[in-house]
A and B are shown apart, each in its own frame.
Chain A
Amino acid sequence: MNDYLKHLAQEAALGRMGRREFLGRAAALGVTALGANTLLSTAVKAAGAQKGGTIKVGLQGGSTTDSLDPALATNQVAQSVIRLWGEPLVELSDDGGIEGKVAESYEASADAKTWTFKIRSGITFSNGQPVTAADVVATMDRHSGEDTKSGALGIMRSIVSVKADGDSVVIELDNPNADLPFLMTDYHLIIQPGGGKDDPAAAIGTGPYVLKDVDMGVRFVAEKNPNYWGDLGNADTIEYVVINDNTARVAALQAGQVDMIDRVPPRTAKLVARAPNISVHSTAGPGHYVFIMHCDTDPFANNDVRLALKYGIDRQDMVDKILNGFGSVGNDTPINASYPLFTQLEQREYDPDKAKFHMEKSGYDGPILLRTSDNSFPGAPDAAALFQQTCATAGIDLEIKREPNDGYWSEVWNAQPFCTSYWGGRPTQDQMFTTAYLSSADWNDTRFNSAQFDELLIAARGELDTAKRTQMYADMSTMVHNDGGLICPMFNDFVDATSDRIEGWVEGTKGYALMNGYAPHKMWVKA
Chain B
Amino acid sequence: MNPIVKLLAQRIALSLLLLLMISVVIFVGTMILPGDVAQSILGQSATPEALANLRAELGLNDPPVARYFQWLFGALQGDLGTALTSGQDITSAIGSRLSNTLFLAFWAALIAVPLAIFLGLLAVRYKDRWPDKLISAVTLASISIPEFLIGYVLMYLIAVKLRWFPSVAMINDSMNLWQKLNSIALPVAVLTLVVLAHMMRMTRAAILNVMQSAYIETAELKGLSTFNVIWRHAFPNSIAPIVNVVMLNLAYLVVGVVVIEVVFVYPGMGQYLVDHVSKRDVPVVQACGLIFAAVYIGLNMIADIVSILSNPRLRHPK
Contact = CB atoms under 8 A, between A and B. Distances in A.
Is B truly associated with A? yes
Contact of A257 (B36, B45, B50, B166): B166
A63 B279 contact: yes
Binding site of A, secondary structure by majority: helix, strand, loop or mixed? loop
B279 A148 contact: no
Interface stretch (A110-118, A238-246, A501-509): A238-246
A409 B263 contact: no
Contacts of B34: 406-407
Interface-centre pick from B40, B54, B87, B167 (highest chain A CB count, 10 A): B167
A149 B50 contact: yes
A231 B39 CA distance: 40
A65 B86 CA distance: 6
A67 B86 contact: yes
A472 interface: no
Contacts of B172: 213, 215, 219
Interface in A377-409: 406-407, 409
Contacts, number: 121
A248 B35 contact: no
Contact of A149 (B42, B93, B152): B42
Given A147-B53, A153-B50, A255-B159, A410 B40 contact: yes
A258 B88 CA distance: 29
Contacts of B160: 251, 254-255
A432 to B, nearest CB: 14
A154 interface: yes
B36 A410 contact: yes
Interface residues of A, number: 43
Contact of B275 (A65, A258, A407, A410): A65
B168 A149 contact: no
Nearest to B48: A442
Interface in A115-154: 146-151, 153-154
A252 B152 CA distance: 11
A255 B167 contact: yes
A148 B170 contact: no
A248 B53 contact: no
Contacts of A442: 47-48
Contacts of A74: 42-45
Contacts of B49: 146, 153
B175 to A, nearest CB: 12
Of A58, A74, A241, which is in contact with the most chain B CB atoms at under 10 Å from its CB? Answer: A74
Contacts of B83: 65
A66 interface: yes
B284 to A, nearest CB: 8
B41 to A, nearest CB: 8
Contacts of A245: 262-263, 265
A96 interface: no
14 contacts: A75-B43, A148-B50, A149-B54, A216-B86, A216-B88, A217-B271, A219-B170, A243-B168, A248-B155, A248-B263, A251-B167, A252-B168, A255-B155, A409-B43
Interface of A: 58, 63-67, 74-75, 146-151, 153-154, 213, 215-219, 241-245, 247-248, 251-252, 254-258, 406-407, 409-411, 413, 442
Interface of B: 34-36, 39-45, 47-50, 53-54, 57, 83, 85-88, 93, 152, 155-156, 159-160, 163, 166-168, 170, 172, 174, 262-265, 267, 271-272, 275-276, 278-279, 281
> Top 8 nearest A-B pairs by Cβ distance?
A65-B85, A410-B39, A64-B275, A255-B159, A407-B35, A63-B275, A218-B267, A254-B160
